[in-house]
Chains A and B, each alone.
Chain A
């Protein structure tokens, strides 16, 4: 039987009085490109640190390709590559040395050099291979951090906010390389604040809030179920009929965007406008994006939260 890449079973984590994770159950299959989303403090990094063995669960268990991250930690860690969120580095060594060391800790020697070269090239670090880590720019340090997590060629790769504070060029290059790794069979688990990245890259998404998973589905299903469509109208008058105000998501001058859950709501908006004698200058109907789903599920306003807990 094929083992799932990641299996998380009834995991709780408490830090003193803080109940950071409240019974997480999650299975990620091999070869998936999976996103773990949620606002700051939702518990994403705690979950990743538990997977990496950096902290221990208060209850429950986690495994990587069938190996428990605590009982069989040596096997589990060999199969897992984790890119930490903080931009940390060892100031004593250059990029190539660090990658060789990192692979060495996992038992790899010179035979791994070809893979190290491949990572350097894939992440645009080849000409920085002999530069001391201290002398790299922020973006280059981020690349080196990612390279270190890949040095032992792990089948399961976890990237915790890999594109935080990096420029567009690096994001493109990074995702190109990570997509290639995914095509080659690596399982990718990603946390990010850039929701459009998760939407374009990931086939399946888990959304977390206050230490719980509040949504777990394919990206397409989440978009379909929770986001509906956006109707954007440019009107002759900037004054809306009172009956429509509650449907407005955003507005700017005379342009209003309405959240449309059902197609017949379009008709309702237009008829209310007709009754109020407000002419429509322009009309646009678009699919909502992951940001809408995110706001709907984990948004901070109370009406957005109502009825969404435990989805």
Chain B
């Protein structure tokens, strides 16, 4: 049932999912990069003189890893969720359901494409942003680890949302009422230490906070919590979501009634 029994089938679905977003790269890659840059220009202009997060890090530099991670997470989610909801609404998901692809193979293919789109968007923002500000890199390993885990977590979330949602407006609700608030309230634009104590505590229940904090640690070598702790939390969340997602796929929930 693993990938090995039909690696070609798994790879084909992965390739199709990658081509699906690549063919409309203007919308799926260029557009989020532009949005992130607008955030960067506006927030750094407005807040640079007012917000001091770390003594030796300028606000604009502090902002960039947060923006990269935010875009990476949102796009990983968008890739798997939009692919599923589109093919469900259009009915062409039947072409996948008729194949011998197992739930694990299906999950890995969709996840792989979601991670790849997240990484593409993140890298593009990084390469554009470093024209504007000096951005140190202290630990490559942590950057890569949190980029991969974060995009995998949101890619998985996207598969779950795509299976659950029957209509585009349900998906939009998921995106606007769950994903957006969790990302914006995770410390993309600020350090949680600048928040009142109550909101600091609330932030610790937000898994997005750990993804962004761990990712940022890779750039500056400092964060609001230990990167090891963030790693444990994010890995734990990924494990829980991946298990739930595979359970849904194996049961045929909403796909095979």
| Chain A interfacial positions (CB closer than 8 Å to B) | 52-56, 73-75, 77-78, 80, 82, 84, 86, 88-93, 98, 101-102, 104-109, 148-149
Contact = CB atoms under 8 A, between A and B. Distances in A.
Contacts of A84: 91, 94
A106 B90 contact: no
25 contacts: A52-B97, A53-B97, A53-B256, A74-B5, A74-B102, A75-B100, A77-B98, A78-B100, A88-B95, A90-B92, A90-B95, A92-B23, A93-B19, A102-B95, A104-B8, A104-B13, A105-B95, A105-B99, A105-B101, A106-B6, A106-B9, A106-B100, A107-B6, A107-B9, A109-B8
Contact of A105 (B5, B13, B91, B256): B13
Interface residues of B, number: 29
A56 B100 contact: no
A77 B252 CA distance: 16
Given A73-B100, A105-B13, A106-B100, A88 B8 contact: no
B95 A56 contact: no
Contacts of B20: 92
A104 B12 contact: yes
Given A91-B90, A101-B12, A109-B8, A52 B98 contact: yes
A74 to B, nearest CB: 4
Nearest to A75: B100
B87 interface: yes
Given A56-B257, A105-B13, A106-B9, A89 B92 contact: yes
Given A74-B6, A104-B9, A105-B12, A54 B100 contact: no
Closest 4 CB pairs of A and B: A104-B12, A88-B91, A105-B99, A74-B100
B172 interface: no
B123 interface: no
Contacts of B11: 104
B16 interface: yes
B173 interface: no
Nearest to A74: B100
A53 B101 CA distance: 12
Contact of A55 (B91, B98, B257): B257
